[in-house]
Structure 1
Amino acid sequence: MPTILIDRKEGYAVLTLNRPESLNALNSDMMTELCVALRMLDDDAACSAVVLTGAGRGFCAGLDLKLLSQPEGMAALGISGANDIHEAFQRFSKPVIMAVNGIAATGGFELALMGDILLGCENTRFADTHARVGIAPGWGLSQKLARIIGPSRAKEAHYTGNFISAQQASDWGLVSRLVAADRLLLEAEKIASDIHEADRRIVGVVKQMVDQGLAVGLKEGLAIEQALMTQANKSVRGEQVAQRRLAVQARGRTQVN
């Protein structure tokens, strides 16, 4: 049985972590299949965005700790090369919407933060239990979380392993917004569809601007924006902008009505 389900839609794809019996805990097969899926969809010209969610009642419980009990420990997971999901998401050039349908714990918390947009529901909960299981984080959680919710809240989460509730995640800006559980995937897919209707080239440029800018200070980030803007706008033609402007105006009237 595949550990990653791929559902192709018009303009985007939905990936589902498919180990519901273990709250979609990450094993070697799942990480390999996820990396393969990302590479395939990155090369797919028909795909503008990806939605990632979990089967069953959990998003992802992190690394499968049963494997860590084996004599080879962390090596049993082979988190490198074809299994390095952190690197795979960093290389992925298209937007990723995380539909966090349940618990996102430890490595699953890190996985959620690899996305561009996070949506939650009343069942969403986050937890960092690295300090409780005795493993240090290595997929960016210690750096990303403090930048999103502030160092005090992040350190409390890191040190205690306590859950961050859905409401806290919303109040602290950890998720874009909360929606009803039965509408979570629909809302995530709507965002993916909206992205598909935009200028995909510019979406990709803006993704680079934001991601690269977050890794440096404001001055350096502004320089990155200027450099990428200059390169991207070289090929812009007035008639293309005019056509896009008419489409934007029409869409605005539809949304207002």
Structure 2
Amino acid sequence: MLTKSDGVRVVVITGAGRAFCAGADLGVLEANGPALVAAGKDVALAIRTAPQPVLAVVNGPAAGGGANLALACDYRIASDQASIGQVFAQLGLVPDWGGTFFLPRLVGTAKALELVWSARMVSAPEALALGLFERVVPHAELQAEARRLAELWAGQPAGAVRRAKEALYRSDASSLASMLDLEIRQQNELFASPEARERIEGAGASLAKRSR
């Protein structure tokens, strides 16, 4: 997989057409729904365990499993024309592809229930206010802004980026003491890395030069 390659610094997921992902093809859902749902487990876990940042560039509607594909990503930048919705109830179904995990953690249980029970599409401004999108930009600027963000992250030390993702996701189910222990371990690993040593030495030299 791409996420196993050291040459891949950021993974970007976006739609090829006017939608980010409109959800399952109804023909596939009718013919082999269980397999499609099972595939969602593999996708969600692959995104969350990827060492790289995974950026969702939501260029249009993200519905059903497509909504939860976006929510599985580490960050969502969206077009002002985008929308997102847990539309499963329209088909007599419940959220899958990780929706029951991601949604309440982002918006709280009560709001998650409202979004699931209403099965409505949420506009980009409301999604931003709820925390479903981290950033909303004009549609014409979406790809350029997403690229700028991806390039910024790609320029950071890979070891620090990977450890930060690991730590912040682990904190959901950890105590303060265990997180402090993890911070100590991670920092000690990074202090020993050539990249961190070079950056620390460079920052020190720059500060000394400015103070002269």
Provide TM-score, normalisation by structure 2: 0.85
Match of 1:104 in 2: 62
Match of 1:160 in 2: 118
Match of 1:74 in 2: 33
Match of 1:52 in 2: 13
Among candidates 10, 22, 33, match of residue 61 of structure 1:
22
Encode CA deviations 1:32-77: one digit per residue, 9 max, x unaligned. xxxxxxx2x222212111111001110001222211222xx42454
Say if 1:212 and 1:221, in contact at 8 Å, map to a contact too: no
SS of 1:184's equivalent in the other structure is helix
Encode CA deviations 1:187-222: one digit per residue, 9 max, x unaligned. 1111111111112111111101111112x2xxx243
Aligned partners of 1:110, 1:78: CA distance in 2, in Å? 12
Identical counterparts, % of pairs: 30
Among candidates 233, 247, 253, match of residue 187 of structure 2:
233
How do 1:117-132 and structure 2 match up within 5 A? 117-132=75-90
Aligned partners of 2:24, 2:205: CA distance in 1, in Å? 45
Please state how far the C-alpha of 1:244 moved relative to its aligned partner: 5.5
How do 1:134-213 and structure 2 match up within 5 A? 134-213=92-171
Structure 1 unaligned runs (5+)?
1-38, 250-257
Among candidates 203, 206, 212, match of residue 245 of structure 1:
203
Say if 1:205 and 1:228, in contact at 8 Å, map to a contact too: no
Aligned partners of 1:242, 1:204: CA distance in 2, in Å? 19
For CA contacts below 8 A with separation 6 or more, give which structure has more relative contact order.
Answer: 2
> Does the C-alpha gap of structure 1 residues 118 and 154 become closer, same or farther in structure 2, counting only changes over 3 Å?
same
Aligned partners of 1:239, 1:122: CA distance in 2, in Å? 42
Aligned partners of 1:248, 1:147: CA distance in 2, in Å? 42
Instruction: Read off the aligned partner of 1:162 and give its amino acid letter.
Output: R
